[in-house]
Amino acid sequence: MKRALVLDFGGVISRTLFETHATTEAALGLPAGTLTWRGPFDPASDPLWCAMQAGRISERDYWLARTREVGALIGETWEAMATLVVRARGADPQAMIRPEAVAAIRAAKGAGHAVAVLSNELDLFYGTELRQRVAVLGEVDAIIDGSYTHILKPDPRAYALCLEALDLPAAACVFLDDQTRNVEGAAQAGMVALAFDVLRPGESYARALGLLVSRD
């Protein structure tokens, strides 16, 4: 039976900006060690991240604040997350993609299953041009992007849009996301929902692929 691997993009397919501070600093001409906020890698270093995890601010609010902060460090006014991503990673967008993600997508496709990306802010955060330069996204069967639908996980309608695009029942989908609220939303929608651990990406993908294959 055909099934699907459904993936968030930021943090799951792409490396987080927390993991690539050194690259960002070099790209922007900032001294090494300038960027100290580490999100899930060191929550104590990042009260704003903790506020987002507690639901006091949205993910979009978090990244807008960081975007403005980094822009100000080089004397510029930035009001779009895509500006931060393109300036930090635009020279080599492939370098931000997790090799584990590419391997998992190709393994799922090779086994005859579908792959979808269900993102709240793919083009809003990364920009259309940069996204089009990420080769592995050309291999997926469907991309559902809240940048255009304006329906964001964990809204049940976001998962419904994904299932409609795949033409599969929820139980046939293994979902990975690094935000707990989105994982809970997928589970409520009937998907096999797993939390993606950015500290252990290989283990997270292995578990997802194991569930995808074991359900055949």
- Asked whether 45 and 37 are in contact (CB, 8 A), the reply is yes
CATH classification of 4-15+94-214 is 1.10.300.10, yes or no?
no
Which residues are CB-neighbours of 126 under 8 A, at least 6 positions away?
9, 10, 14, 81, 82, 85, 86
**What residue has token string 């409609």?**
164
The pair of structure tokens assigned to 80 is: 């779009």
**pLDDT tens column, 112-127:** 999 999 999 999 888 8
pLDDT at residue 216, rounded to an integer: 52
Would you state the pLDDT for residue 83?
A: 93
Q: What is the pTM of this model?
A: 0.90
Both structure tokens of 107 = 């393994």
| 97 vs 56: CA distance, rounded Å | 29
Report pLDDT for 95: 86
Which parts of the chain register pLDDT below 70?
Answer: 215-216
